[in-house]
Structure 1
Amino acid sequence: MKTTAEITSPYDLSFIKELPLISKNDIDKVLNTAHNLFTDQSNWIPAYKKIEILEKTASIMTDRIEDLLVTAISEGGKPWQDSKAEVLRAIKGVKLAAEHISQIKGEQIPMGLTDASLNRIAFTSKEPIGVVAAVSAFNHPLNLAVHQIVTAIAAGCPVIFKPATATPLSGFALADILKEAGLPTGWLQVILCDNETAELLVTDPRINFLSFIGSAKVGWYLKSKLSPGTRCALEHGGAAPVIVESDADFDEMIPSLVKGGFYHAGQVCVSVQRVYVNQEICDAFIEKFAAATKLLITGDPLDKKTDVGPLITPKEVDRVEEWVNEAIKKGATLITGGKRISATFFQPTVLFNPSEDSLVSTKEIFGPVVCIYPFIDRDEAIKRANALDVHFQAAVFTKNIDIALDTVKKLNATAVMVNDHTAFRVDWMPFGGRDSSGIGMGGISYAINEMTREKLMVIKSKFL
């Protein structure tokens, strides 16, 4: 049985660090620490103190942007320009959490509406839900940690954070900063462990809330095993569709869709994947999209000029290569790319009209591949876009407001971008999938609310 995790660079597979894995025997101590903190309300951190801690955390992070940036790039392989944006988003997320603490509040419930409810006043308040287990993904190692850790702290919950084994260093760096900022011992425990141990953790009855970011297979399995009463938020992937109408603005659209498709080598849960283009402009779209794709610079993620970095592991490159080859064998036209560059690099790839049963048409690619499909009837294209069981973010490009509104209404998605790519996100907006793509809602304030629960107080007095 493995007792350590070896962290390597996705860029060149060079060794970075070795970290210990905790065993099943260690889980009880971790859970007890968090559970005991929560059950004794004298330990709870006052709101003003939580604000102070998070404000100081944001300040320290700002002072250490370069260190956080290099750490995220080294372990995750996301190019410099995109990792810089992630670090800045993470800092903004901490600030948003601090600001939202003042908005954690209840409301008055009307009384006296019936004879039986006379002489009473009632109101709700919000309490922390309890111990949070947060299981994270590799693709945004710092920002995801903020969305799962800082939101729990803002809500008043002790949190046990399990980062992806491939990219744990950013989570540990955030934990060190929170400790420096004054977070009391035990309120955040960062652990690395194997899948069996992680399951033991999240299914324990001492866990009140599971925050999970990762594959649908694992997420829905864990949900089925949760202890009775444990609530959860699951964020899975999608296969984001885009509808492109004949009046779309090419100058705006092409750079946007290329960015949305190949950002972080397509390793984004809302990455542009399936683009349905009106037949009238399909040839021109393919020509311009392919030309822009060929200009992307693939290489060292620490180089500021790099557009597309590596995939997280060689195994992922193997999978993407297999899926692309399968699509071509089933009749897809390879427009550009399609080849492995190295152990962890795959060319930015554009496929035209893969069959509906190809893996690239039915599963989340999570790699640098975009598929283009022609359509004549928009309603038929929307039907094809909605055909899968994953529904997260989608997009439509048109200058006709009626077409935009009609498409937004008909697309099955939690968010539809109009004249923007599917991967657009800011950290104060709601973010999450529906159907197989997840349950619950992310976004800083939304996640904080998920980690609280209401308590009603009713006061009876003859003087009311």
Structure 2
Amino acid sequence: MAHNLKVYQAFDHEVIAEISTDDANALECKLNIAARAFADRDGWLPAHSRMAILRRVSELLSENRDRFAVMIAREGGKPLTDAINEVTRGIDGLINAADKLRHFGGSEIPMGLTAASMNRWAFTTKEPIGVVAAISAFNHPLNLIIHQIAPAVAVGCPVIIKPATTTPISCIEIVKLFWEAGLDKRWCQTFITEDSALAERLATDHRIAFMSFIGSAKVGWYLKSKLPPGTRCALEHGGAAPVIIDRSANIDAIVGTIVKGGYYHAGQVCVSVQRLYVHNDILSNFTDALAATVANLRVGDPTLKETEVGPLILPREADRVSSWIREATDAGAKQFGGGRLSETTLMPSVLLEPPVDAKVSRLEVFGPLTCVYGYGDVDEAIRIANSLPYAFQASVFTSDIAIALKAAQHLDAAAVLVNDHTAFRTDWMPFAGRRQSGYGVGGIPWTMEDMANNKMVVFNGVS
């Protein structure tokens, strides 16, 4: 049965909206609408129409930049400056999807290479894979939605998008812009529910051809195990991103970058800097510089322009991170900073040498915390960095090309960043987690490839 979903402001946990949810009947209706739209091949939108819609949505989003930024700051808790950047990325992402269509096609398959293949001409074309079910996360409530909707619209797949229940407003509003831009509602529908069983039904329905999931590894791998035969998927989970800091690194030059990568959106980023392996020769100086920089971060209401670190998404997440920090300090880790500003807002922390078996050393923290560990040999640092069952993005800071090359070759990660933090990405680059961190490749152009099928056509010249 449908009911109203209360949406809370992340910082002070006040109700900012009540949104009607969808029930099982609504899900069935939406699945049928999407499936019928896809089945009508004569009704598929031509590429030029899809490009025009994406470009128009980009224009509309640009006109509504400030409104969306405040929306992101309120429901998601992302500081306003970063929320503005998220909207800017979304604007560019829509253009990115439209531009990809200029080069999104098949290729010729050589014939005549054997006697049996003479007098034939073969080539491939791209077709949409089918109905897409997209389940999204709270931490980038606009840009993640765009990463799931824009590729589907670009390729020509009907998409049903389920946002996180903590941050549904940005999703609802961007879908409205798609409709305003001329996209028939059949091709892009929202599904709002707090019922995990209904979300599972959406993801695993036989009418779904592609399931896009952004969220926890536990849920993502479970849903993948339940997909019917033939359904493809992409999973984006998280990690505990390692950073190796060589003794040749310039501490003053890099500490600000590392702090940005570790405390951006209060650490609620799947590739947030978490584990810092620092050469013993510079360990003390680096830790002091890191702790001092973190202590100067401006923490508070994310709707204020001066705020650099805002709240966690829910009070229970602040409770969890606090308990993990307490476990580590009870076991001997030294803490710099810390404390609690509000029910959802933690003051940023640094932990020095937490035990290897502490939760902060083994699991994704997803909070305003980085952990520092000393090392003497880079091979040992790489071994420890690779020791967890997660592998997403990793970094090395060094002025020594040999160390940079060794780290790039030996770190187990889908991306190794040299002299940059692990949270760096652009929306047109491949973005993928290895092992438990994910499945498939994200990034708008790469998702478009995942959402398309190649069809080969062969002409026999003999009539």
TM-score when normalising by structure 2: 0.99
| 1:44 to partner: Cα distance | 0.6
How do 1:209-224 residues align onto structure 2 when only pairs under 5 Å count? 209-224=210-225
Aligned residues: 462
Check if 1:23 corresponds to 2:23: yes
- Residue pairs, 1:287-436, within 5 angstroms: 287-334=288-335, 336-436=336-436
Deviation at 1:4, TM superposition (A): 2.2
1:340 shift after superposition: 2.1
Deviation digits for residues 175-194 of structure 1, max 9, x if unmatched? Answer: 11111110012100011112
Letter in 2 for 1:421: H
Deviations 1:218-256 (A, max 9, x none): 000000000110000000001000000000022221000
Task: Describe the SS at the equivalent of 1:269.
Answer: coil
Superposed CA deviations along residues 378-423 of structure 1, whole A, max 9, x for unmatched, are 1001000000001000000001112101111100000011000000
**What does 1:80-95 align with in structure 2 at a 5 Å threshold?**
80-95=80-95
Alignment of 1:31-110 (within 5 A): 31-110=31-110
One-letter code of the match for 1:200?
A: R
Contact 1:163-1:191 within 8 A present in 2 as well: yes
Q: CA deviation at 1:2?
A: 7.2
Return the alpha-carbon distance in structure 2 between the equivalents of residues 434 and 39 of structure 1: 35
1:283 matched to which residue of 2? Answer: 284
- Taking the aligned partners of 1:446 and 1:162, their CA distance within structure 2 comes to 21
Name the SS of the counterpart of 1:200 in structure 2: helix
- Are 2:12 and 2:342, in contact at CA under 8 Å, matched by a contact in 1? no
- Contact 2:141/2:171 (<8 A) preserved: yes
TM-score by length of 1: 0.98
Q: Distance in 2 between matches of 1:323 and 1:4?
A: 34
Q: Is the 8 A contact 2:69 2:84 kept in 1?
A: yes
Equivalent-residue separation in structure 2 for 1:280 and 1:249 (angstroms): 12
Deviations 1:159-214 (CA, angstroms, capped at 9, x unpaired): 00000000010011101111111001210001111211010111111000000000
| Matched residue type, 2:327 | E
Letter in 1 for 2:5: A
For 1:419, give the aligned amino acid: N
AA matched with 1:212: F
Q: Does the 8 Å CA contact 2:2/2:22 hold for their aligned counterparts?
A: no
In the TM superposition, residue 3 of structure 1 has moved relative to its aligned partner by 2.2
Unaligned runs of at least 5 residues, structure 1 = none
Letter in 2 for 1:441: V
Residue type of the alignment partner of 2:311? P
Structure 1 position 338, deviation (Å): 2.9
Q: Distance in 2 between matches of 1:4 and 1:270?
A: 33
Q: Residues 125-145 of structure 1, C-alpha deviation per residue, up to 9 Å, x if partnerless?
A: 110000000000000000001
Give the Cα–Cα distance (whole angstroms) in 2 for the partners of residues 116 and 287 of structure 1: 72
- Contact 1:90/1:143 (<8 A) preserved: yes
Write the letter of the residue equivalent to 2:456.
L
Shift of 1:74: 1.0
The code of the aligned residue for 1:271 comes to S
Q: Is the 8 A contact 1:324 1:338 kept in 2?
A: no
1:4 equivalent in alignment to 2:42? no
| Structure 1: distance between partners of 2:369 and 2:351 | 7
Query: CA deviation digits over 1:402-460, x for unaligned, max 9?
Result: 21011111000000110000000111111110110001111111111110011111111
Q: Name the aligned partner's letter for residue 145 of structure 2.
A: A
Aligned partner of 1:442 in structure 2 is 442
Counterpart of 1:280 in 2: which secondary structure? coil
**Equivalent position SS for 2:325:** helix
Q: Give identity over the alignment, percent.
A: 51
Question: 2: distance between equivalents of 1:305 and 1:31?
Answer: 44
Question: What SS does structure 2 have at the residue aligned with 1:167?
Answer: coil
**How big is the alpha-carbon RMSD for the aligned residues of Structure 1 and Structure 2?**
1.0
One-letter code aligned to 1:366: F
Q: Any unmatched runs of 5+ in structure 2?
A: none
1:250 and 2:275 matched:
no
Q: Which letter maps to 1:208?
A: A
What amino acid maps onto 1:279 in structure 2? N
Counterparts of 2:313 and 2:185, CA distance in 1: 33
2:131 matched to which residue of 1?
131
Is 2:165 aligned against 1:161? no
d(CA) in 2 for partners of 1:220 and 1:185? 30
- What SS class does the counterpart of residue 373 from structure 2 fall into? strand
Any idea what the Cα deviations from partners look like across 1:70-116, whole Å, max 9, x if unmatched?
Answer: 11111101001110110000000001011111221011111111111
Q: Is the 8 A contact 2:2 2:23 kept in 1?
A: no
Give the superposition deviation at 1:330.
1.6
1:345 aligned partner, one-letter code = T
**Cα distance in structure 1, aligned partners of 2:315 and 2:28:** 35
The residue that corresponds to 2:179 in the other structure is 179
